[in-house]
Structure 1
Amino acid sequence: MSSLAWIDFDESERQRAQRIMALFQERETRDELGLGGIRDSIADHLFPGTSTIQTRLRYMLFIPWIFRMLEGSSAGSDQLATNARALENRLANALKAGGESNGIIGRDAGADLQRLPSSVYWAGLGAWGIRLFPGSTDNLFSSMRHLQHGRPRIRESEDAASEAQSLQIWTPSLPPMPKDLLETAHFNLTLDEAQFIIDRLVAHQPNSLLAFLARSGSGEADCDNIWEHPQLVDFPHETRILVGHAAMFSSVIHGASLLYNLLLSQMREKSEWIERYESRLADWRAGLDMPAIRAWSLDAFWQVIEHPAHSIRPAAKRFVSDWLALLTSDGIGDGHLTPAARLVQDRERRLKTSQSRFANRAVRDRWTGASGAEPLTFRWAQAKSHLRDIANAE
């Protein structure tokens, strides 16, 4: 059993900083209209610990197994980080040797990999109670210098009370590591490993939809959106309410993202892009359930999605409210001079200031034709993949 001496830092601030840095790393989190806090509040209620750059679920075990290989080392923090990188690169090679092709982080980059699997899964490991150490990987490497055979070196002047403040790195119930992990590896979970993941979710995220679906064995649902799930009626009552709000928000706000892309396409005078976004906006309008949208309560929405890890700014709430008001009154037009167009442009200008694509031609000319143009799905694709891995355990 591994343990570390207490590290003195503000855990809530550290976690907030890690989330912000993670957002900068993820390609699919483009937030041109400053609505990421809303999106992530919903996603973290439904599927906590997931990320848009996660691939396969067994990385939640690979990372603890690899890091346990470093415990007891007398190396300094920099060398430990180097050693960890080498082990993660070896894991990628072992997965290729095991016949895996899709989902390998670093499959093509090799030793040049910039985003290590540990950085992709670190927050999730903590959220699911697999990682008990509260710090970052850098914090861990700095602290591991004090480890000797998995136990902290306690100075003679320190008493039992000080030792009691030590923290474990990983949950003691972590399944055993395969002996040939770094020779040949697979993404398939064993039944015991799958049950371990379910137990962690139920214990540490009991109110999440992810825990409910993992425990109920609903991993084979092949739907694009969580609100299309065939077992939706069986979801817990509060979760069904949240999913309903998520579906409504995704439907309503998708038009703002499409209009943003259309306006830029018009400014770039790209006829192919213009035609594409005009068509997509028309399809969006045709698919709206206007009676349901008019009955939608934003006050109830803000209350339901409130999450301690995310702060939704008043300006973001005003934008959503103003967009909804336009949608339910005058409708949303295509031109630059419509109220909806002005609302979208003003919002982006305030957020990006001198880097606004509407205000800065050089920045606009570098735009490649698509920014956040897909409907929000709140990480359902990643959650669905993880649930499938649990369902296919053998």
Structure 2
Amino acid sequence: MMTASRWEWLDFDEAEAKQVRDFLSQAVDGEGVDPLRLGASVRDRMADRLFPGTSTQYTRLRYVFLIPAILRRKGATVGNLSQSQMVLNVALDRANAEEKGVIGRRTPGRDFVHLYWSALRTWQFLTPLTKDDRDITVANGLAALQARASMDEEDNRLVEQRVQWEPRVVMLADQFWDSQKASGWPSIRCTRAEVDFIIEQWLALPGKPPLAAIAARLQEGRRLSQAIYPWEAAVGSFADARVELDRAKAVSLICWSAQLAFNFALLKKARRLEDRNPETTWRQRGQDLESTQRRIDNLFAAWAKAFAEERSTLTPWAVPSHWEPLGSDVSRNFLASTAKKLIDGHTNLKSEGWSTWVREREMVNPAPKLSNDHHLATWSGTPEMAQRWDFRWGASVRRFVEDAENPRG
């Protein structure tokens, strides 16, 4: 896992930073490898439409409240922020030994302030007084919280501010420090007041995305965190959210089809290379291709079941324009044609026709394994992006929903 200090350069461009962090976070078991170059332009764009402000790096909802708390603490500066976070990370670990998702557990110096900053921006914990979103930086946010009390007798700021915090955020930050003597402090679980606030912020998201619909259901006391995929969550009367979730379901199935076909082709090609060249990365690491084959076969069985249930929803997706704004023109044409193949009954993802199809697509990759034995020899031997996409639901959003369902106190 990369440490936060090696990510500091990413903070200059928040949108690009989140995309890169999402990619890096999925490097486990090949899920961060994007052989067909669909991850950033299709998966991540869809995830942003469903769950704006989220990232696969996010683990627990309360971190978005710990950020203003640590910036609000008396004497906080940009210079001592790293040390303050380390102290709080250690305290969180000690007080929440049985809890999952405490990000400083293995790396006490983990920088959660910059990591979660995109969520605060998107969910409008603070807004720019200058009307320029580029001013919503950690430094400006810290300055605003530290100088909040610097007002004259007519309530004019004595120090010019570039951003302003939502007043309830400041109140919640103060409450965090006021509760230091409480049992179990600091808790990784949100308070009821924090949950109420975040639900209101999600409800106010522009365009009423599925995250807003989920917030409405949480406000009603519904429990949604048991859903395996986001489209299984009941979003009630939010028709637009239902449409978006249905779109995500179809996108996920079509892309999964191409990715499984790629993995079958990759295994076939690797076995041929293995007979000629024993010096491959997967052999050096002791990776058994038979084990990988079984895993892909199991995923294929799951795919076949899903395809049988969802095939009737794919017809609109055979038209490239239906994919907008996801992907590039080339990607949209590829995916529309992939949908057409499926609709026409070409469901044997192990076939030579599918191998040729994904090999041609992989040529957009600067290091194509299906067309170049040198690149193929560097393969780890584990599946590459073979899981069905859930658009951050399992990685972080479901945990956020569960935290909102179970406030402390």
Tell me which interval the TM-score lies in, with the shorter structure as reference length: 0.7 to 0.9
Partner in structure 1 of residue 251 of structure 2: 249
| Aligned equivalents of 1:300, 1:366: Cα separation in 2 | 32
2:392 to 373, 379, 394: 379
Partner in structure 1 of residue 361 of structure 2: 347
Bigger shift: 290-299 or 33-42?
Answer: 290-299
Percent of residue pairs identical: 21
1:204 deviates by 3.6
CA offsets per residue over residues 23-65 of structure 1, 9 Å max, x none?
A: 3432255432222222222222221111111111000100111
Partner in structure 1 of residue 163 of structure 2: 168
2:70 to 34, 58, 66: 66
2:46 to 39, 42, 59: 42
Q: What TM-score do you get using the length of structure 1 for normalisation?
A: 0.78
Q: 1:72 to 1:19 in 2, by over 3 A?
A: closer
CA offsets per residue over residues 286-308 of structure 1, 9 Å max, x none?
A: 441375145334559836x64xx
CA offsets per residue over residues 244-292 of structure 1, 9 Å max, x none?
A: 1111121222121112222222222223323432453354234413751
Q: What TM-score do you get using the length of structure 2 for normalisation?
A: 0.75
- Matched residues, number: 354
Bigger shift: 16-25 or 43-52?
Answer: 16-25
Does the 8 Å contact 1:214/1:390 carry over to 2?
A: no
Amino acid aligned to 2:265? L
CA offsets per residue over residues 167-190 of structure 1, 9 Å max, x none?
A: 225322211342265993112222
1:317 aligns with 2:318: no
Q: 1:300 to 1:165 in 2, by over 3 A?
A: farther
1:227-266, aligned counterparts within 5 Å?
227-229=231-233, 231-232=234-235, 234-266=236-268
1:123 to 118, 124, 139: 118
Bigger shift: 255-264 or 26-35?
Answer: 26-35
1:356 to 353, 368, 371: 368
| Aligned equivalents of 2:211, 2:360: Cα separation in 1 | 37
Does the 8 Å contact 1:219/1:384 carry over to 2?
A: no
Q: 1:99 to 1:272 in 2, by over 3 A?
A: closer
1:267 aligns with 2:260: no
Partner in structure 2 of residue 209 of structure 1: 210
Does the 8 Å contact 1:95/1:104 carry over to 2?
A: yes
Amino acid aligned to 2:103? I
Q: 1:300 to 1:312 in 2, by over 3 A?
A: closer
Does the 8 Å contact 2:261/2:349 carry over to 1?
A: yes
Q: 1:198 to 1:33 in 2, by over 3 A?
A: same
1:383 deviates by 1.9
Q: Secondary structure of 1:132's partner? A: strand
1:321 deviates by 1.2
Does the 8 Å contact 1:71/1:144 carry over to 2?
A: no
1:32 aligns with 2:45: no
Partner in structure 2 of residue 92 of structure 1: 89
| Aligned equivalents of 1:102, 1:17: Cα separation in 2 | 28
CA offsets per residue over residues 122-163 of structure 1, 9 Å max, x none?
A: 1111100013354489x543896899734899xxxxxx9x99
Partner in structure 2 of residue 7 of structure 1: none
Partner in structure 1 of residue 228 of structure 2: 224
Partner in structure 1 of residue 5 of structure 2: none
Q: Secondary structure of 2:333's partner? A: helix
Does the 8 Å contact 2:144/2:161 carry over to 1?
A: no
1:374 deviates by 0.7
| Aligned equivalents of 1:147, 1:236: Cα separation in 2 | 36
| Aligned equivalents of 1:216, 1:146: Cα separation in 2 | 34
Amino acid aligned to 1:202? L
1:177-188, aligned counterparts within 5 Å?
177-179=175-177, 184-188=185-189
| Aligned equivalents of 1:145, 1:244: Cα separation in 2 | 43
